[in-house]
Structure 1
């Protein structure tokens, strides 16, 4: 996909299945552009795509009938109540009036706007507006929903609530979800599958579990600050482990052959901590994260 001399999406070959699929990338990576192409709102300069078996070039109206779309930006009429707006969107999607009202009441309850549904949306908080946008995307009982940055502008507590809603849609409601975010940690918590874009290019597409698999290393936390962390790290290094600070934790690499026996590294960490008089808070497996995909890509470019 090109905009003049700017190439927004390049040689992108992906598939989206059931459950929750996360589309992750920095701002400008091409996430919103891809969604608009799939909805038939932008015409690609090359390539083909289908949504629910329908060609985006010839059947975009049918795609939009079957798909729910929650846009990133604020698009709500301020002088209309959430109830009236969601009913209207249901009618626009082809629902009879009575069915649209019933569906609107039901879905507004599911997204947590039951008590606020008759208020004008101009007086809503950002979190309430995001829920109203989500409700209109679901009112016509779509088979697939595109959620573009649903946590945008939300405080931490509201982000958690929205992510729980996203999970419920994909796993309890049985609706396939494609959700975008530039916050990598969010998507690995809720997605079954993750697609990673960088500058319009596909970096990786695989099950979330493949991204977050156990690396073989450990993360260790002791009570105190950087001084206590560094004291433990230096002692573990003298004992033959390769380790480094990671925030408030000591990251320990997979053990050398002499400490490969199951539990040997745990025992060494525990005993070393006790010998130093430090208070051990936790030892946990070190898992890979989505950020590691970008770090690996950046290292390969150097």
Structure 2
């Protein structure tokens, strides 16, 4: 059963339409909500949390109507906002305990859950330091911890890798994947960085200008194409020339060769060309589409 459903959901502001008849179903797992800045991602989350009202259409979380059951929905949801909203003069422990108490946990349970959650996000050793002295990555982890501390059934994470360097993004993405893999908590993750969600999401929803472009499993988005990628240990140009002389169309993609996979004999042609040049075959596999490529194609078609 979908944990989130929308039907013809529309949100209009005086100068723009943030959501335009958006209809989606979100199943349990890690779900990526992809779109450029201003695509309507944050607006959708606020409507789902009951913090903003839609102009028309319907939306539900766990089968609960967002217009009538906002408090009941928020009891079961963790929310990580996009922007920095943390108090600088309190420690991570104080802040997360406070958020746990706000979610209804008794004092002792709130302290225990806070310690466990800060350990999970990698802040246990730093838990008593004032948040104002934290790095951007540590602040993002505090926001993640407060979203998780009350053991929600789903977390809505708005641009959780914002401001992070590549290493920090990788660590955050791993934490998000573990939320589902280790604890069975569904994660709805927004991002404008398409490649990130391709790595961790089970399902991807792409919106642009508040309109649904595509909604599908990640495996369907990154489906295998009819091109063969070949990587050799040296003399790639010579291998390409040999394949061309055998009637194969070859393109260079950096250090790789990309061939049209016309038939099974393409594999034999690569084998023969590599052997003829006396180089090593490092990798040979069908190329996969990337979400970024498909997103660009959708926008071009539109």
Q: Normalization by structure 1: what TM-score?
A: 0.91
Q: CA–CA distance in 2 between the matches of 1:113 and 1:155?
A: 18
Deviations 1:33-54 (A, max 9, x none): 1111111121111111011121
> Aligned residue for 2:44?
34
> Aligned residue for 1:170?
180
Deviations 1:141-187 (A, max 9, x none): 11110011111111112211111111111121011110111111111
Q: Paired residue for 1:96, among 93, 106, 121? A: 106
Q: CA–CA distance in 2 between the matches of 1:66 and 1:16?
A: 16
Residues 213-292 of structure 1 mapped to structure 2, 5 A cutoff: 213-223=223-233, 229-255=236-262, 260-261=263-264, 264-276=265-277, 278-292=279-293
Q: Secondary structure at the match of 1:14?
A: strand
Q: CA–CA distance in 2 between the matches of 1:300 and 1:42?
A: 32
The structure-2 alpha-carbon separation of the partners of 1:87 and 1:285, relative to structure 1 and needing over 3 Å to count, comes to same
Q: CA–CA distance in 2 between the matches of 1:247 and 1:40?
A: 49
Question: Structure 1 residue 205: deviation in Å?
Answer: 0.6
Question: Structure 1 residue 296: deviation in Å?
Answer: 2.2
The structure-2 alpha-carbon separation of the partners of 1:65 and 1:8, relative to structure 1 and needing over 3 Å to count, comes to same
Deviations 1:249-271 (A, max 9, x none): 2222222xxxx23xx32332233
The structure-2 alpha-carbon separation of the partners of 1:125 and 1:23, relative to structure 1 and needing over 3 Å to count, comes to same
Q: Normalization by structure 2: what TM-score?
A: 0.91
Q: Stretches of 4+ moved more than 6 A in 1?
A: none
Question: Structure 1 residue 246: deviation in Å?
Answer: 2.9
Q: Secondary structure at the match of 2:251?
A: strand
Task: Please say if 1:51 is aligned against 2:61.
Answer: yes
Q: Which stretch shows the higher mean deviation, 154-163 or 87-96?
A: 154-163
> Aligned residue for 1:20?
30
Q: Paired residue for 1:86, among 96, 99, 119? A: 96
Task: Please say if 1:63 is aligned against 2:64.
Answer: no
Q: Which runs of 5+ in 2 are unaligned?
A: 1-10
Q: Secondary structure at the match of 1:41?
A: coil
Q: Secondary structure at the match of 1:159?
A: helix
Q: CA–CA distance in 2 between the matches of 1:184 and 1:238?
A: 38
Q: Secondary structure at the match of 2:195?
A: helix
Question: Structure 1 residue 67: deviation in Å?
Answer: 0.5
Q: Secondary structure at the match of 2:23?
A: coil
The structure-2 alpha-carbon separation of the partners of 1:230 and 1:296, relative to structure 1 and needing over 3 Å to count, comes to farther
Q: CA–CA distance in 2 between the matches of 1:55 and 1:94?
A: 22
The structure-2 alpha-carbon separation of the partners of 1:239 and 1:295, relative to structure 1 and needing over 3 Å to count, comes to farther
RMSD over equivalenced CA pairs, Å: 1.7
Q: CA–CA distance in 1 between the matches of 2:218 and 2:21?
A: 22
